[in-house]
Structure 1
Amino acid sequence: MVWAVGSTAILFVGFSFFSYSHSQQIVVDKMTSTTKQTVAQTRDTLNIIFQNYEDVTFNILTDEDMLNQLQVYGSVFTSQNDKFVAKNKIVESLAIRFFSKSDITNIHLIPVDPKLKEITTDTLHAESIEYSKEAWFQRAVIANGEIGWLPTQRYGYSNIGQPSFAINRLIKLSSGMKYVLLIEISSEVLKRSISDIPNGEMVILNPANQLLTRTNSETEGDFYRIPNVFEANPIRAGHPSASKTVKVNGEMQLIVAEKIAASDWTVQAVLPSSELFKDANTIGNSMLISMVGIAIMTYLFNYYLQRRRNAKKIRYMAFHDHLTDLVNRKLFMEVIDKEIQTARQHKLEFTVLFLDLDRFKIINDTFGHEAGDKLLIETARRLENTLDKSCTISRFGGDEFLVLIPNTGDQEVILTIIQEITSHIQKPVYYEEQELYVSVSIGVSIYPHDGNDIQSLTKHADTAMYSAKESGRNNYKFYNTTMEKNTYAKLSLERDLRHAIERDELLLYYQPQIELDSGCILGVETLARWKHPKHGFIPPSEFIPIAEYSRLIVPIGKWILYTACKQNKAWQDAGLPKVHVAVNLSLHQFQNSEIIQTVAQILEETGLEPQYLELEITESIAMQDVEKVILTLQGLYALGVKISIDDFGTGYSSLNYLKNFPIQRLKIDKSFLDDIVRSEKERAIVGAIIVMAHSLNLRVTAEGVESMEQVALLQDCNCDEIQGYIYSRPIPSSECAELLAERRVFDTSMTILQGG
């Protein structure tokens, strides 16, 4: 034993003298080993992530329902209507089953046949880019099904302004039809996967030495400032890390690189040599050198242990979500498959819950991705604390979660669990001294009543969840077969809505806005109506949400704006009193980058003077991105049009932003007037809004006035204008013209109409 210790001491002493004369090399070797380990960990993480996305392409490739719909869409014997239905079913299936709202930005199915149009989840940019002329498209066709990885493009492959890379492969149907599948993935996936290199940087490069992720001084697509030192001897996937030193701008750099197995890309770490040598000069005596030797021995031992721990961690990461640490989709599918086998063998029931957070996108866009990540992490913890240990919880993607509740299909038991979940999730989450609130919509499917396989149970739970969202959110629904029929009915209505403008089925009605002091008509609000050839008048509450979801609201909104301006100009040319016409702007219209140019062009084409057009936006739209909203409103205001805030008080109820918005009017929502006669509190709120608005030189219009009692109270509060059924319902343009021609004056103390 003494001999062993003495021998060890001699070895350490000898190693100390050796280390003293080779201190710089020791430091270099240590830093190189550490950097190699970090790069290897990043490579392993990326390999897992890339494999998961390759699994997504395989799932799409083996989805019989989607392949059948692609066959229908591409067949020369299919009618245009059937093609349209097939296309929408494919998009819906992609959105429900494969679309990850946090990472995947768009999914495209591009026919090789140039006669067919692209099928895409990106409805804003659909059919606007000729992908078939791209080199990667031709390579995908030639590759005949092999997976291809496409480097990051600064504005995405569909020019949405967000950096993204992509995976593609050829889908070949049994009939011979071919489609190129293109899945766009946010470059944030790559950025999040890169480990931190103290005093250095880590990047991901393609073979041309172009950046796939931005650095502090360079952006995606730029050629990296460090030359490709491994060009002569390319790095191979699965081989140990390669390292070299190279002089760049007079300074030596340590380069460590690893090849990603799934693609021909490399992970590369760069560390300035000045960082490697700065500690070596502090080694001044043999004792310190001995300690360095001991540290290196310890490091090597720890490195061995760390490698073992990393192997376990990689296995763990392959089956768990990197953000919430919950079971990922792959492991959840394995668990539910085993549960099906057990339930089938013992004739048991079990339940699948599909959860989606309400208003998550608004919070994510308003407060940033860090706030969104914290919300997702806290939701995961609350689900774990609420549910029994026997339950399996999975983050399905984005803000969606799946829960497997074993051995029960009892609705009362499930309702109790749902109530506990909703109660805990609704509690505030604190982020940077702010309270963030979300609710949750939940869909329920039960084995074996709602399906006896994985796809049916998850799809039906997802369908039920979307039904819960349509019912007002913060809700739950048990799956039933009528939900599928409702989905088909909505698709049919959406198909008809696409042709409503060209078939002259859309109409505009106008509701007068009355000045309380004079009783005169100062303006009219424009309201859209749809007269369906088979179903008659479709309520706006039915077709407007469909238009919003399908983005048809953009062309419909443009038609409404043009028609309203043209009608108002026609009234004026006919010698009728000049009044303003108010038009509501939808969220998608307002966020369109060309909204200002569109309004200017319509005013020019119709000849309407801008002061006779009033644009209304809701309070919730105004608070989407306040800085961008202010710029847009200022541009519209510069045209000379009037701007009003509609449904004031029903959204964020914030008054601070009003002074920064170039608006002229607030419109008080009908919900505040329903109880104004009976409730002193409601009267106080309405009075306070009016006083506040007048102090900011804003006029106030009350909507939904239905009784003379409400009129009298609004007069007492000094409200400026009112509109509602007490004086006039929304009426066609001809009837509105008659009111204007008669110069109708409304008696605000009586319900009788007097001639002007």
Structure 2
Amino acid sequence: MQVAIFRTSGLILAVALCYLAAAFLASGVGLHEQIMPFWVPAGVALGAALRFGARILPGVLLGNLAFNLLITLSWKDSIDAYNLLTASLIGTGAALQAGVSALLIKRFDAYPLAPKMGRSLLWYVLLAGPVCCVISASIGTSAVYEFSDAGGSAGYWKDWLTWWIADSFGAIVITPVVLALLVGKSMSGRRRLALVTRLAIIMAGALILNSLFLDRLSNQLRRDFMRDTQLIEARLSGIMQKNMTDLATLGRRFAENGTYSPAYFAEEAAELIEENPGLRAYSWDPIVQQSEREMFERYTAELIDEPGYAISGESLYPEDPLIPVQMVEPRESNRTALGFNLLSLEDRRRSVIQAQATGRAVATEILNLTQAPDQPGLLILQPVYHMGGNSSVLYRHRNLVGFMVGVFTLNQLLESSLRSAGLEDISVRLTEAGARESFYSDFPAQPNPELIAAFDLDVAQRTWHMEATPNANYMAAHPSSNAVDLQGLLALVAILGTMLTLATHDRERVLLAEVRRQTQSLAYQAKHDDLTGLPNRSNLLETLRARLTGPDSAPFALLFIDLDRFKLINDSLGHQVGDHLLVALARKLEQQLPEDAHLYRMGGDEFILMVDGNRRRACVEADKLLIAAGMPMDVDNIRLQVTASIGISLYPNHGNDLVTLIRYADTAMYRAKAQGKNRYMVHSEEFSNQTFQSFSLEQDLRVALEQRQLLLHYQPQFDLKSGELLGTEALVRWQHPERGLLAPGEFIELAEETQLIIPLGWQVIELACEQVASWNEQGLKMPCVAVNISPQQLLQMDFVEKLNALVDSQRISRDTFELEITELMIMQDPDLAMLQLHKLRESGYRIALDDFGTGYSSLDRLKHLPLDRLKIDQAFTRDIGRNSRDEAVILTIIALGSALGIEVLAEGVETQAQLDFLCNNACNSVQGYLLGRPVAPDQLTLEVLS
């Protein structure tokens, strides 16, 4: 099941990648370019659906979704919910179209490489193209127009028609190519190459002609765009010149009038602002000396009726005067600008000095306008002079009295220029001469480098480098995009050529198929049973021989099937009924077979099933066969019910030659009959090596318990604060007479399976008691000895009484022993385990919970356990310093133990870093190889107790 899911997932991914690659190879670079008259991916999707079925349709959806999202990112910086919805709907339409097309083609037997009849090719062309391609065209075009911010290309119905023609061409022409590449061995390499070559020539011819036609239209597009760009340059220069003239005129009138009244300024500015949509504000900024500041503020407050008027922003240099905004129009939207001192910002100061030095207007770019946040703007300072001196022209001199300032929005300036030229679908990028980064741009993310026009524009002593490129709507509206008629004709010619090629291929296929059918008929009769049509004995022997001598050494099983008491049916009902029963049974068994199983008739009522897999798989199939054979069948109006006996042999377990495998399966079948029929038996020897070894080890363990071959090693435990010995843990070892010293992992599991764990556990307790008594006689005091208790041992009803008797007989204090239990032990029988633990506590023993954190016991139960110690499993300790999550678990256990008043011991301490971490985090005690390995009692006495 997992393999099938993995294969399907891989197939879906492969289809998605192929679809994505085909889409990129066939498309342009934008959302509009994918609505084109030759859409190859439609054929990729339909071919894959016909070859692999509906399971690959998610791949078509994923490939189309990925393509459309990537296309969107090619002209946008990000993807929003509408873009995702558009891409999802287009992908859904493509997948639905491929699925419906494949279903209808199969329903009408219109498979293009092997049509059933003369009209099948016509059905294929109609179903794959015009009929089903309505689906994707309708869903996709509607999604683009309803949800995509790019909009359509040339109107809904024209785009729908282009989409429909594109998918029809791709589905009809490309599908046979895809199928020819995927049919495998059912088509010879030469015929496959011939068919693919012919179809590729048709497709390439149509694409080349289309490319030449589009190339011609592209050249026309470039010429027209360059002409439009020159018009934009002229209009933009004219608009900027007019703004400069208006600004100078307003300043001159203002100076000549001599009466700087707000009403006069508002009247003059309003007319100019109304004429120019890009103009955001005009302001009058007089030059004020520092000594005149207070007087100027009082005067201006009365003049413009703004009681709170004050100059904001100090000049950057002490010698500089003040150039504040005295009047601004429109005032309501620019009130915050009142009083702003131009000389308080460095870039404004530079512009003021330049304007004063040259006597001409100076432009300054502004990243964000107060009047239009997040929009780049333009500030133009026009110096205003007052003519003084003698009335004679020769003796008059100019006095700079202030600046008339115009604030412009670049967006609206450019839009006004484009609109006046009738060219609103062109994107613009502006860069200051000599700068690397542009200060204004609405360029697409990936503009076409062949469609970028550039020119320089002089604006108030600034030089701008301006670049222009057409956007998608411009190109869609251009006559170069109206190529549907010729492209539709090319698609029609390609479709007719495809039909002719497929018809020729089908005629060749029919002739070759007839020759092949005659040849195969003779071969079939030689290797198949005449009665049931199943492969016969000869076929089985040939298959087995090839399987055994070939490179494939995968295991398989032979199931020898024999009907029970079939002779009685022949004798009582006649051989004709018996033959009909065999045919009916063969059909029923075939219906139950998986793909990797093959049924053969050996003769009479004997069959053999060969199935891949191990013993378990063979047994599963045997059960299915017994059930199928035992179901009632109506044969010649007679209701019959039979049973079968099955013998199973396994390769390579039971042999590696066909004679042996068949003989073993036959023998096992007779054993099944001997056992009562209607069952299966697997051939086996008395014991396999593994069984014998397990049996031998079990016998040795029984002897070991009788001869007391077990011994204990002790691992010391230390207090982290004082460093003193707290006790030891008794760990069992088996001194095998032939295999040497065995660790617990080599025999404890076997002891649990054979119930020998109970006598083994008591022997461990006896050995621990004897050792403690020995230490006591030597005058060596062991604070505590920890002994592991198995679940089976703890849950014995007389365990506590028997333990008390054993410990008391050695005259040992009960609190010398710490009995270690696990969370699993408690889970097996929580109530009895809890009862036993309380009895042990009342008897005076210490109790520790071993391997804490690795089981599934509840904290609610934990708080009721009579515990003295929690032991942190080494699975957490060994990752200290490497895994912060394990450290967090350790800290939690330490905190839990502290809160419950239970000592915490960490096992498996092997490094100084682990020890330091536990010391720093208030762990009570530790054990591990760093401080002491498990050793024999004598060595422990020498190293620790002494």
What TM-score does the superposition give when structure 1 sets the normalisation length? 0.38
Instruction: Please tell me whether Structure 1 or Structure 2 has the larger radius of gyration of its CA atoms.
Output: 2
Greater relative contact order (Cα < 8 A, sep 6+): 1
Structure (1/2) with the larger strand percentage: 1
* Higher helix proportion: 2
